A and B are shown apart, each in its own frame.
Chain A
Amino acid sequence: MKNKATLIAIPVVVAIAFMVLQSQFAEGDGRRMFFAVEIMFVKLLAAAGCFVAASRYRRREYMGMAWQVIGIDYFLLFVKDLLFGRVVHLPGIDPDTAESLRVAFVIAANIGGSIGCIMLARVWHVAGIALPGSRRLQFAAMIVGVALAVALVGWGTWNDLHNLRNDKEAMVAVASNLGDIVSFSAIAPILLTAIAMRGGALAWPWALVTLSNIGWLLYDMSWSFERQWALSEHNLRIIAEFFRAQGCAMALSAGLAQRWAIRSAIRK
C-alpha cells in the first residue's frame, strides 16, 4: 500500500492542529465558536473520506453502499450543526420546527451510521472469508464489544427513554446512544476483519475504521472522566473534542486507505 505516511499523518496533523488552535481560544464566545467550527470541519472531513471510498465502487455494490451510508451519516451531522448550531441562524423559522428538524437530522444520521457499521461488520460473512481465531473466541470478542457499548451508554439511554414524549433533547440523546451502541458493538468484527487481512492492502481501511470507532468510544467515555477524575468543564471539553476529532480524522484516513488499497494493488 502506497501513501501509508499520509494515512498516519492525517490524524497526527489533526491532533496537533486541534491542541494548538484550542489553546488560542481560552474562553468565552471565541472558544464556543472555535468548537462549533472545529466539530463541523472534522465531520465534513470524515464525510469526504467515506464518499471517496464509496467512489471506488459501482452503484449498489455492497462495500460502496456501506461507505456511502456512513458518509451520509457524517454529512447529515455536519448539516445539522451548520443549520441548527452557532454558525448559521435560519431566518423566520419557528424554534419548535427548527428543534424538530434537528432531531430528525440526528435520527436519520444515526440510522445511516448504524446501517453502515452493521454492513462493514458483516463483510467477512458476505464475502465468505474466515475471521481469525476459534468461533468461541470470535463470539467472546463480539459479546465484549456489545457489553462495553451497553455499559457505556445503556444507563443514559434507559433514563432518556423515560423522557422521550416531552423532551426533544432526550430524543437526540436516545438516537445518538442507540447509534453508538451499534457502532461500538461493530468494533470487534471490524477489528477481526482487519486482523484477518494483516499484511494486505485492505487491512489498512479496516484498521482505521476500527480506530475511528474507538475514537468515538473514547469521546463518549470521556464524559464519565468528570466523575472519576474530577476534571473541570474546560479540560473535559478538550479531552472529549480531541477524541471526536480523532474519530473523524480516522474515518477520513480509512476512506482514503480504502481507495488507495484498491488502486495501489491494481497498478502493481
Chain B
Amino acid sequence: MGVQLPHEIVFRHLARYLGPHTAKTALKTFSERALQKPPEAVTRIDAPRLLQALKPMLRTLIGADECDAVLQQVTRELSL
C-alpha cells in the first residue's frame, strides 16, 4: 500500500463507522467548514483543525471515549 494522503486516512477511519457515502459527505462538509478547502487539499498541517471539526459529530455518534481513541489513531497515522 502506498503512502495515503491525509484526507484518505481520515476517510478510512470515518467510513468504518459511517459507511463510504456519509464519510465522504462528512469529510467534504467539515473540511470546507473548518478549513475553507476541499478534502483533497487538506495537508498534514491542516489535519488537526479538521479532526477538531469532526469531533462533535463523532462524539454524538460513537461517544467520547471511542471518538478520542479514533482521533488518536488518526493522529498517529498522520505522524502528527
Q: Is the CB of A129 within 8 A of B62?
A: no
Complex Cα distance A204/B60, Å? Answer: 17
Q: Is the CB of B29 within 8 A of A201?
A: no
With an 8 A cutoff between CB atoms, is B41 at the interface? no
Complex Cα distance A262/B17, Å? Answer: 8
Q: Which 10 A-B pairs have the closest CB atoms?
A: A200-B19, A199-B19, A127-B60, A57-B63, A265-B16, A127-B57, A200-B18, A197-B19, A196-B22, A262-B66
Q: Is the CB of B61 within 8 A of A63?
A: yes
Complex Cα distance A58/B63, Å? Answer: 7
23 pairs of residues in contact across A and B, judged by CB atoms under 8 Å: A56-B66, A58-B64, A61-B60, A61-B63, A61-B64, A63-B60, A63-B61, A126-B60, A127-B60, A128-B26, A129-B25, A130-B29, A196-B19, A197-B18, A198-B19, A200-B16, A200-B17, A200-B19, A200-B22, A202-B18, A202-B61, A203-B19, A265-B70
Number of A-B contacts defined by CB within 8 Å? 84
CB contacts under 8 Å to B, within A107-144, are 123, 126-130, 132
> Nearest chain A CB to B64's CB is how many angstroms away?
5
5 additional A-B residue pairs with CB within 8 Å, beyond A202-B61, A203-B19: A57-B64, A61-B64, A63-B63, A127-B60, A130-B29
The residue that B29 contacts in the complex, of A63, A128, A132, A203, with Cβ under 8 A, is: A128
The residue that A123 contacts in the complex, of B17, B23, B60, B70, with Cβ under 8 A, is: B60
Q: Is the CB of A129 within 8 A of B22?
A: yes
Q: Is the CB of B18 within 8 A of A266?
A: no
Which residues on A sit within 8 Å (CB–CB) of B15?
199-200
- Looking at chain B, what size class is its interface with the partner chain? 20 to 34
The secondary-structure label for the interface of chain A is: loop
Specify the chain A residue showing the minimal Cβ separation from B30: A128
With an 8 A cutoff between CB atoms, is A64 at the interface? yes
The residue that B60 contacts in the complex, of A62, A197, A201, A203, with Cβ under 8 A, is: A62
Which residues on A sit within 8 Å (CB–CB) of B29?
128, 130
Complex Cα distance A199/B15, Å? Answer: 8
With an 8 A cutoff between CB atoms, is A261 at the interface? yes
> Nearest chain A CB to B9's CB is how many angstroms away?
14
Which residues on B sit within 8 Å (CB–CB) of A63?
60-63
The residue that B21 contacts in the complex, of A64, A128, A198, A268, with Cβ under 8 A, is: A198
The residue that A196 contacts in the complex, of B21, B62, B64, B65, with Cβ under 8 A, is: B21
With an 8 A cutoff between CB atoms, is B37 at the interface? no
Specify the chain A residue showing the minimal Cβ separation from B65: A58
Complex Cα distance A128/B30, Å? Answer: 9
Complex Cα distance A265/B17, Å? Answer: 7
The residue that A130 contacts in the complex, of B16, B25, B60, with Cβ under 8 A, is: B25
Q: How would residues 2 to 30 of chain B score, 1 for a CB under 8 Å from any chain A CB and 0 otherwise? A: 00000000000001111111110110011
Q: How would residues 186 to 207 of chain A score, 1 for a CB under 8 Å from any chain B CB and 0 otherwise? A: 0000000000111111110000
Complex Cα distance A61/B58, Å? Answer: 11
Which residues on B sit within 8 Å (CB–CB) of A201?
16-17
Q: Is the CB of B62 within 8 A of A262?
A: yes
Complex Cα distance A152/B79, Å? Answer: 56
